[in-house]
Amino acid sequence: MPVVAAKKKPAKANKRKTTTPKPAELKDTRARRSETIKFLTLDETRRLFASITDKRDKAIFLLAYRHGLRASEVGLLRVSDLDLKRLRVMLHRLKGSLSGEHPLQADEARALKAWLKSRDTDSPILFPSRRGLPISRQMLDVLMKGYGEEAAVPKDKRHFHVLKHSIATHLLDAGAELRFLQDWLGHSNIQNTVIYTALVSTSRETKARQYFLKLPRL
C-alpha cells in the first residue's frame, strides 16, 4: 500500500504587532521635540527689534515674527500680496502648511510703507536681493546673526527660524487658543502646534519660580 506523505500546513505569516502610543508616551515625545526648539524671550525680542534700523530689514523681521514666516516664505512675498488700504497681506506657506490672507497691524503697515517708499526698484518681488532675486534664506540667517549679536541675543538663538517659534510661544503665553494659533501659523496638523504648549508651560514655571521667590515664605 503506497505511503501518502502528510501535507504540511502552510506556515502562518508573522503578523507585526502594532501598538497605539499611550497619552503619556505622546506627551514625552512632544516634550522631547520641544526641548530642541529655541525661542526669544519678550525682552530679547524687544532688544532685537531695537537693533534693526534699516527700513527693509525692519519690515522683513516684523512680518516674519508677527506672522510666523519661514525664511523661504519671506522670499515668496510679492508687492501685489499687500493691500495696505485694507491692512491685509497674502501669505504663501510651504512644507504642507496652509496659505491665506492675514491682517496687518498698524506698525507693520508703517514699516512696509516706509520700505516701499525707499525702494529704488520696480521689482514685483517685495524683498529683492541686489541681483533682483528674492532674498535668500542664507542672507536672512546672516542678518539674524548680525542683529542678534548686536542685541546680545544668546548665540544658539541667532537663526531666522527662531522668530516663528517665538511668536508661537508669545501668543500662547498671552492666552491665545490652540486652534487660533494653528490657523495663524498655517498648520494643517494641530500636532505641529501642540508642541509649543510645552514651551509655554516651561516659561510659566520659570516665571512663577522667579516671582514666588520674591514673596514672603509662609
- Of all residues in the chain, the percent with pLDDT exceeding 70 is 81
Question: Reading across the β-sheet that carries 88-91, which strands appear in turn?
Answer: 82-83, 88-91, 100-103
Report the distance separating Cα 156 and Cα 173, nearest Å: 22
Report the distance separating Cα 29 and Cα 22, nearest Å: 11
48 pLDDT above the threshold of 70: yes
pTM over 0.85: no
Q: E strands along 23-107, which residues?
A: 82-83, 88-91, 100-103
Q: What is the mean pLDDT of residues 27-51?
A: 79
- For 50-79, what is each residue's pLDDT tens digit? 999 999 999 999 999 999 999 999 999 999
**In whole angstroms, how far apart are CA 158 and each of 37, 71, 116, 121, 186?**
12, 13, 27, 30, 24
What is the three-class DSSP state of 18? coil
The whole-number pLDDT of residue 69 equals 97
Q: Does domain 42-214 have CATH number 2.160.10.10?
A: no
Q: What is the mean pLDDT of residues 102-129?
A: 96
Q: How confident is the model at residue 98 (pLDDT cuts 50, 70, 90)?
A: very high
- Give the pairing type, strands 88-91 and 100-103: antiparallel
Q: What is the mean pLDDT of residues 32-53?
A: 87
Report the distance separating Cα 182 and Cα 190, nearest Å: 6
- For 144-167, what is each residue's pLDDT tens digit? 999 999 999 999 999 999 999 999
Give me the residues paired with residue 102 across strands.
89
First to last CA, the chain: 98
What is the three-class DSSP state of 216? coil
- For 171-218, what is each residue's pLDDT tens digit? 998 889 999 999 999 998 888 899 888 877 767 677 777 777 777 666
